Chain A
Amino acid sequence: MTIGHEAFTFVRELVRAESAIVLEPGKEYLVESRLVPLARQGGHKDVDAFVAELSTRRNPAAMRLVVEALTTNETSWFRDTDPFTALRQTVFPALAKTRSKREIRVWAAACSSGQEPYSILMTAQDTPELSGWKVDMLATDLSLEMLERARKGEYSQLEVNRGLPATTLVRHFERLGLGWRISPALAAQVQFRQLNLMRPFPAMGKFDVIFLRNVLIYFDLATKRDILRRVRQVLAPDGHLFLGAAEMTMGVDDAWERVPAGRSSVYRIREEQRTCVP
Chain B
Amino acid sequence: MTLYSAPDQALLHAAVEQVWGSMLFEAADPWPADVPADFETGLQAHIEIRGGWNGRLLLTCNSDVAAQIAAALLGMGPDETVDELDVHDAVGEVLNVVGGSVKGAIDGAMTLGLPGVRASASPPSSEESLVVSWRGSPVHVQIVPDAEGL
Contact = CB atoms under 8 A, between A and B. Distances in A.
A10 B25 CA distance: 5
A177 B27 contact: no
Interface string A52-81: 100111100000000000000000000000
Contacts of A56: 75-77
Contact of A158 (B1, B15, B18, B104): B18
Contacts of A57: 75
A156 B105 CA distance: 12
Interface string B98-133: 000100110000000000000000000000000000
B4 A13 contact: no
A175 B4 CA distance: 11
A14 interface: yes
B33 interface: no
Nearest to A156: B18
Given A17-B21, A56-B76, A178-B15, A9 B101 contact: no
Contacts of B24: 13
Contacts of A174: 2
Contacts of B3: 175-177
Contacts of B27: 9, 12-13
Interface string A165-184: 00000000011111001000
Contacts of B1: 177
Nearest to B77: A56
B76 A157 contact: no
Interface in A116-174: 156-158, 174
B101 A157 contact: yes
A17 B137 CA distance: 22
Interface string A4-27: 000001101110110000000000
Contacts of B11: 177-178
A177 B18 contact: no
Contacts of A13: 20-22, 24-27
A157 B4 contact: no
A127 B18 CA distance: 35
Contacts of B104: 175, 178
Given A55-B25, A158-B22, A178 B75 contact: no
B144 interface: no
Contacts of B75: 55-58
A12 B18 CA distance: 13
Q: Which 8 A-B pairs have the closest CB atoms?
A: A17-B22, A13-B25, A13-B21, A17-B21, A58-B75, A10-B25, A56-B77, A177-B105
Interface of A: 9-10, 12-14, 16-17, 52, 55-58, 156-158, 174-178, 181
Interface of B: 1-4, 11, 14-15, 18, 20-22, 24-27, 75-77, 101, 104-105
Given A9-B25, A56-B76, A177-B2, 18 more contacts: A9-B26, A9-B27, A13-B20, A13-B25, A14-B25, A16-B21, A17-B18, A17-B21, A17-B22, A55-B75, A57-B75, A58-B75, A158-B18, A175-B3, A175-B104, A175-B105, A178-B11, A178-B105
8 contacts: A13-B21, A17-B22, A157-B101, A175-B2, A175-B104, A176-B2, A177-B11, A178-B15
